Amino acid sequence: MEFTVFSRIYTARNKSQRTLPRTDCFPDLIRANTIMMTLFVLLIHEYIIF
């Protein structure tokens, strides 16, 4: 479920950055994706606990 939401955000960001070459913004997107996914997993973990 969270992966579909994140893929939607990822596709929207790709559409907004379509003018840039994809190899240029790809490592940046990977770094942002890992940070966002860790934050999202921590948020879900706290929500499940509390």
Phi, psi (rounded to 5 degrees) for 17: -110, 35
| Helix/strand/coil percentages in the chain, nearest 5 | 85, 0, 15
Give pLDDT, residue 45: 78
Residue pair 33/2 in contact (Cβ under 8 Å)? The answer is no
pTM of the entire predicted model:
0.36
**pLDDT 10s digits, 1-50:** 556 666 665 665 555 555 545 555 556 666 777 877 888 888 887 777 66
The conformational region for residue 2 under phi > 0 = left, psi -120 to 50 = alpha, else beta, is: alpha
Give pLDDT, residue 39: 83
Helix axis angle, 22-49 relative to 2-16, nearest 10°? Answer: 150
